[in-house]
Amino acid sequence: MPPIEMPKGLPFSVDTWTPSSNRKKHHFLTHAHKDHSQGISTHASFPIYATSITKALTLNYYPHLNESLFVDIEIGQSIAVDDSLEGFTVTAFDANHCPGAVMFLFEGAFGNILHTGDCRLTPECLQRLPEKYVGKISREPKCRLDYVFLDCTFGTFSSKMPSKHVAIRQVIDCIWNHPDARVVYLTCDLLGQEEILVSVCQTFGSKIFIDKENNPECFQSLSLTVPDIISHDPSSRFHLFDGYPRLSERAEAKLAEARANLQPDPLIIRPSAQWFVYEDVSSEAYKRKTDRFKEARKDQFGIWHVCYSMHSSRDELEWALRLLAPRWVVSTTPECRAMELGYVKRHCSYGNLAPNDPLWKLLDIDLKAPFVNDEEASCSASPFLMSRLEPSGEGFSEKEISTVSSEAKESSVTLFGRARLGLDNSTLIYENIDKPVISYMDEEDVEVQGRCADGDGPEGRQQESKLKEREEIVKNSSIACSRKEVGENIRKLYRSMYVPAPKPLPSLVDLLNNRKRTKRRLLS
């Protein structure tokens, strides 16, 4: 899943390479993992700020990219970015993720924004941020971050993961514990796992064999990052082993081959959090045991797993947010996951925002702009919304969409839609629209879902009783889709907006009435 676009009100993009991000004036690349440079070969434009390691690795992956597109920024460095509209300062901080990976801190008239890229946000990592932004448990920071774009990859994984340092120690111990293994296969082919190879190399005084023919990209990356650990000699005890695909099959084949030759079993170690988060088939009770991370664990295929994570666990994210106390948090990837964090549930609500809050400007929302009036509101849909509501496969045909209405007013574009997609007029593509249909919500409605998030309460039950009303509105629309589809699509919409879908979903009538109430309150 590619990272999210920056809100339209910001003059820069981070890790996104699309027509929309290309329209931004400044571009930032946090690190060289390919899911963060997807599209860069077609939508790159000057300047791209990145560390020199990230630049070198990226040019390695995309050799036709011109080096002159890049501007170097190194860890700890601040750059004053000149912008004809409003200048800003950007500073790079170590993201504790992979070589060259940084978090960017943006400070300007738009506010103070931390974009973590991918990160393992440990306390040490936090301490490197400017002191004024890092509070204590009982004290808020002197200066609050307005926005944190946060890597929530393992944001639902609540177990306490070992630090990278401890995990590397476990890899070393596992090798010590298997002195008979003549060959040790290390599945460390991902950018960010070099530290393990370096440590093995230093501890055992032996370089690592990397098959250049079969793994040229990894070979080139390691040649750039840790050239001293590479061996061209296949008789080396340590071999780099591909993590994908079909690791278990290949591991079993290696074991079978050794046994057929009356050799001792080779040792196959996979240092990754993936197995612990997604694949570990242990019982739920075992999963809760803290000692499951104490040492390497062997699976049924003979692979030894060590929990080496380049992303933060849920605990680490919660801890970081407590200290940073940002006003708003958005998950960079996966979408929406920030809303599952306790800090976000407690502290990030649109109800907290005053009409003159600079956050509105950041999101490029003009509260003074006219709202769609009530009659229109009941039947006007934003193109953004429609595109989000479009079911995959069957559902809306092109013809049906062309009859979907909207006057495509700025005000009908949802707040999160803008923030999420950086929409502008050029994306308002549904022309020749003459037949009004549905309107679901705009910025104020987001507050509604916030209150309704605990669907078991009386509000939730009331909404359930109004589901029929919603169904009526949908039925009256020109879109022929079932109640189930609409419900599912609204849920998707909520998720796309980084907010939890209320259970049950509120009725449209409630949403619209609430919007009116909130609007009056905000503008009074």
First CA to last CA distance, the chain: 41
Closest CB to Zn ion among 31 and 492?
Answer: 31
CA atoms of 65 and 285, how far apart (whole Å)? 50
CB of 118 or CB of 443, closer to Zn ion = 118
Least Cβ distance, residue 280 to Zn ion (angstroms): 22
When the beta carbons of 118 and 189 are compared against Zn ion, the nearer one is 118
CB closer to Zn ion, 112 vs 116 = 116
Rounded CA gap, 64 and 69, in Å?
A: 11
33 versus 250: smaller Cβ distance to Zn ion: 33
Nearer to Zn ion, 112 or 333 (CB): 333
CA dihedral 11, 16, 22, 28 (to 10 degrees): 50
Q: How far is the CB of 35 from Zn ion (least distance, A)?
A: 7
Q: At what angle do helices 216-225 and 194-204 cross, to 10 degrees?
A: 70
CB of 30 to Zn ion, least distance (A): 8
SS (H, E, C) 39-66: CHHHHCCCCEEECHHHHHHHHHHCCCCC
Tell me which residue of 386, 482, 399 sits closest to 440, measured CA to CA.
386
Nearest approach in angstroms of CB 303 to Zn ion is 23
- Comparison of 16 and 382: residue with beta carbon closer to Zn ion: 16
With CB under 5 A as the rule, give the number of residues binding Zn ion.
Answer: 2
CB closer to Zn ion out of 33 and 466: 33
Stretch that binds Zn ion, among 27-35, 328-336, 372-380, 422-430 (CB under 5 A): 27-35
Q: Which of residues 68-127 bind Zn ion (CB under 5 A)?
A: 118
194 binds Zn ion (CB under 5 A): no
In this chain, which stretch among 29-37, 209-217, 233-241, 347-355 interacts with Zn ion, using CB under 5 A?
29-37
Nearest-angstrom CA–CA distance, 174 and 470: 59
Q: Say how far apart CA 388 and CA 421 lie, in whole Å.
A: 11
Instruction: Give me the least distance between CB of 323 and Zn ion, in Å please.
Output: 23
Q: Which residues contact 55 (CB under 8 A, 6 or more apart)?
A: 67, 70, 72
- Residues 6+ away with beta carbon under 8 Å from 379: 405, 436, 437, 438, 439, 477
Give every CB contact of residue 255 below 8 A, 6+ residues apart in sequence. 265, 266, 268, 302
Cis peptide before 334 (omega within 30 of 0): yes
* 15 in contact with Zn ion (CB under 5 A): no
Binding region for Zn ion (CB under 5 A) out of 32-40, 152-160, 422-430, 488-496: 32-40
**Which residue, 193 or 406, has its beta carbon nearer to Zn ion?**
193
CA angle 473, 474, 476 (to 5 degrees): 65
Distances (CA, A) of 307 to 42, 386, 449, 457: 36, 42, 37, 40
* Amino acid letter, 164: K
Q: How far is the CB of 97 from Zn ion (least distance, A)?
A: 6
Which residue's CB is nearer to Zn ion, number 34 or number 288? 34
Question: What is residue 136's DSSP assignment?
Answer: B
Smallest gap from residue 118 Cβ to Zn ion (A): 3
The verdict on 33 binding Zn ion (CB under 5 A) reads yes
- Shortest distance, CB of residue 193 to Zn ion, whole angstroms? 12
CA-wise closest residue to 40 among 52, 54, 53: 54
Which residues, 422 to 441, sit near Zn ion by CB under 5 A? none
Least spacing, CB of residue 329 vs Zn ion, in Å: 19
Name the minimum Å distance from CB 109 to Zn ion: 30
- For 365-377, b/e burial (b = at least 16 CB within 10 A) is bebeeebbeeebb
Cβ distance to Zn ion smaller for residue 97 or 207: 97
Residue 100 beta carbon to Zn ion: minimum distance, rounded to whole angstroms: 11
Enter the tokens of residue 125: 């990592």
Contact region with Zn ion (CB under 5 A), list: 16-24, 28-36, 331-339, 362-370: 28-36
Binding stretches for Zn ion (CB under 5 A): 33, 118
